[in-house]
A and B are shown apart, each in its own frame.
Chain A
Amino acid sequence: MKYCPMQTGNTGGYSIDIENAVVSYREDIALRGVSLKVNRGEFVGVIGPNGAGKTTLLTIVNGMGKLLHGRVGVLGYNLASGNGRSLRKRVGYVAQAQNIDPRMPMNVSEVAMIGRYGRLGLFRGAGRHDWAIIEKSLALVGMTHLANRPIGHLSGGEQQRVAIARCLAQEPEIFLLDEPTASLDWKAKADILELVKRIHDEEGLTTLFVTHDLDALPHTCDRVVLMKDGLIFGDGAPDKMVTVANLSRLYDLPPDVVEERHPHIHARGH
């Protein structure tokens, strides 16, 4: 690793090491004691119903969520309220496709450049080196031809590609994806997924991928985590986790209904 850990927690070589994390928003408890260890280079899928705490799990990894209890170690740092921002610069975060004002006066490469800003810090402008990184990032996601277009003129799928380019511009070590393919059409979904997987492999990232797209899990993830009611209740290989029995518990549906809706998921793991 390029960085020397200043505040070494006992993270034992894990990229992400969460121990008994409790997070609450007002009265609601979003995470009720979650522990998760992710090795460097792993691609971990997170599934579960809405409100299970999946997004909250991602926000504690990039230091945007506030811990009530527990400990979060990321890239060898113990996350505390003070160092969240410096850590965030090394963690790429892609959220769902946002509604971008079609008249927004920014073009594609300027939006991707925002990924560099955190690293540059205050009072430093983007130099030739930074623009070269943007050029490379846009090429990686196949957006070079649209680099000078206003961001608001792109389709949802293209905007997500730009969001991924922005993350790449951060030169991140961890990649957090919060339903990046939600609300995209069928083809864009598949394209983005493929892109994410390719970038994960090529750049040697550690990836946490929250999704509702059950079909995508087996051939993208090394591991799948099942979340419900702020707890992790399953963690293992995709084909062991994505089973009729587990999905039935996860989504409170009778097993035959799960089978009916996802006929290609076999009743393995019983």
Chain B
Amino acid sequence: MDLSIFGYPFMQNALLSAFLGGITCSIIGVFVVLMHMPFIGVCMSHAAFAGALLGLWLGFNPMLGAFAFSLGAAAVVGPLADRGELNPETSVGVIFSLMLGLAFLFMGLMTGPKSAALELLWGSILTNTRSDIVVLGVVAALVVGIVFLFYKEIQATIFQRDMARAVGIPATVMLYSILFLTGATITASFSSIGGLLIFSLILNPAAAAYQLTYNMKRVFFFAAAFGVLSSWTGLLISYLFNIPSGATIVVTSSLIFLLAVIFSPKRKVKRWRKKPVLEVNEP
């Protein structure tokens, strides 16, 4: 195998992007998985996609559009998740479909070649520039830093939001910060992985890590490791077989999840606990 390709700057950029994106997305994924809000993540990633397309259509920076839209979605969906007033699944579903609709509307309104739009859909990690990496690096540092600094507040908020509030932890601020970071992460890793695929890089590594341990710190650590592993393996496969990298990254992360489910110690819990049925002696 000729690996001299890894000496080229564009490939080094791609590897670095994959590393940073893999870590950030999968740490955000731990929140999404543990707080049982996968649909909110899907909704926000599609909102980012719609926002980016709006930018492309009207000629401003697609990243700005993506950021604004995903934060907008969080601002609408966040209170729903927070208060649990309306059925969040339904409302998130409505917003999600609206975002997808808007995305395709903006794409339809665009004149000229659509290759830039399609690139946003599938992602193009190989064309990442230094400035893309700087943005990714800043977001990665922000996400990792916040998890370190506020680990105990995050842990309590993840466990039970109401209870965290009841002991005097600013759980609502924590929830909104998590949603904000989700928006920032999606926006920053968006051009590398692609709007339709990014959500699997958020969900799969975290869901895989969740299968493997009862220790929350390890869930974060494993998720980040799986995220980087998925991204790098996907990138390598993409290069070897000349297929889109976003797709290979997602497929790899799904395979890792599948393996984690198969080897999960948590699946055996039920079987361990099975006890013989109590016999009642009637007089």
Q: Which residues of A contact B (CB under 8 A)?
A: 62, 64, 85-89, 91, 93, 95, 98, 101-107, 110-111, 113-115, 117-120, 122-123, 125-126, 150, 153, 163, 166, 170
Contact B168 A114 (CB under 8 A): no
* B213 partner, pick from A95, A98, A105, beta carbons under 8 A: A105
- Is the Cβ of B153 less than 8 Å from the Cβ of A122? yes
Q: From B162, B167, B273, give the contact of A115 (CB < 8 A).
A: B167
CB-defined contacts of A105 to chain B, threshold 8 Å: 34, 210, 213-216, 218-219
> Is there a chain A Cβ closer than 8 Å to B102's Cβ?
no
User: Cβ of B219: which chain A residues have Cβ within 8 Å of it?
Assistant: 105
What's the least CB distance linking A125 to chain B, in Å? 7
Determine the chain B residues whose CB is within 8 A of the CB of A62 once the complex forms.
166
Docked complex Cα distance between A110 and B218 (Å):
14
Question: Cβ of A114 and Cβ of B216 under 8 Å apart?
Answer: no
Residue B210 contacts which of A95, A103, A115 (CB distance < 8 angstroms)? A103
B168 touches A119 (CB 8 A): yes
Q: Is B269 an interface residue (CB 8 A)?
A: yes
Contact with A along B136-163 (1 / 0, CB 8 A): 0000000000000110110110011011
3 closest Cβ contacts across the A-B interface?
Answer: A118-B168, A89-B168, A118-B167
Contact A150–B168 (Cβ < 8 Å): no
B156 near A117: Cβ-Cβ < 8 Å: yes
Contacts of B266 in A (CB 8 A): 102-103
Interface residues of B in 50-106 (CB under 8 A from A): none
Whether B162 and A95, one on each chain, are in contact in the complex, defined by CB atoms closer than 8 angstroms, is yes
B164 surroundings in chain A (CB, below 8 A): 114, 117
A125 touches B155 (CB 8 A): no
Given contacts A98-B160, A114-B159, contact A106 B216 (CB under 8 A): yes
Interface of B (DSSP majority class): helix
A129 to chain B, nearest CB (A): 15
* B9 on the A face (CB < 8 A): no
What is the CB-to-nearest-CB distance from B195 to chain A, in angstroms, rounded to a whole number?
A: 30
Residues of A within 8 A of B36 (CB): 101
A167–chain B nearest beta-carbon distance, Å: 8
- The answer to whether A64 touches B213, judged by C-beta atoms less than 8 angstroms apart, is no
Inter-chain contacts of B214 with A (CB < 8 A): 103-107, 150
Q: Which B residue's beta carbon lies closest to that of A121?
A: B168
Q: Which residue of A lies closest to B149 (CB)?
A: A123
- Is B169 positioned at the interface, with any CB of A under 8 Å from its CB? yes
CB neighbours of A113 from chain B (8 A): 152
B168 touches A86 (CB 8 A): yes
Q: A102-B269, A104-B159, A105-B210 are in contact. Are A120 and B152 (CB under 8 A)?
A: yes
Please give, as numbers and ranges, the residues of chain A lying within 8 Å of B165 by CB-CB distance.
64, 88
- List chain A residues, Cβ under 8 A from B152: 113-114, 117, 120, 125-126
- Chain A residues lying within 8 Å of B150, measured Cβ to Cβ, are 122
* CA distance in complex: A188, B247 (Å): 52
In the assembled complex, how far is the CB of residue A159 from the closest CB belonging to chain B, in whole angstroms? 11
CB-CB contacts below 8 Å: B148-202 with A: 149-150, 152-153, 155-156, 159-160, 162-170
Nearest CB of chain B from residue A43's CB, rounded to whole Å: 20
User: How far apart sit A153 and B270, CA to CA, in the bound complex (Å)?
Assistant: 10
Closest beta carbon of chain B to A150's beta carbon, Å: 4
**A72 vs chain B, min Cβ distance (A):** 16
Contact with A along B34-57 (1 / 0, CB 8 A): 101000000000000000000000
Give the residues in chain B near A98, CB-CB below 8 Å: 160
Residues of B within 8 A of A104 (CB): 34, 159, 214
Q: How far is the CA of A30 from the CA of B169 in the complex (A)?
A: 25
CA A101 to CA B160, docked complex, whole Å:
11
Q: Are A153 and B159 in contact (CB under 8 A)?
A: no
| Minimal beta-carbon separation of A81 from chain B (angstroms) | 13
Q: Does the CB pair B169–A118 fall under 8 Å?
A: yes
B269 near A111 with CB under 8 A, answer no
Give me 5 other A-B pairs in contact (C-beta within 8 A), A106-B216, A117-B156, A118-B168 excluded: A93-B167, A104-B34, A114-B159, A166-B163, A166-B167
User: Are the CB atoms of A110 and B170 closer together than 8 Å?
Assistant: no
Q: A160 to nearest B CB, angstroms?
A: 13
Contact across chains for A117 and B169 when beta carbons are under 8 A apart: yes
Q: Which of A86, A91, A114, A170 contacts B155 (CB 8 A)?
A: A114
Which residue from chain B places its CB closest to the CB of A118 in the assembled complex?
A: B168
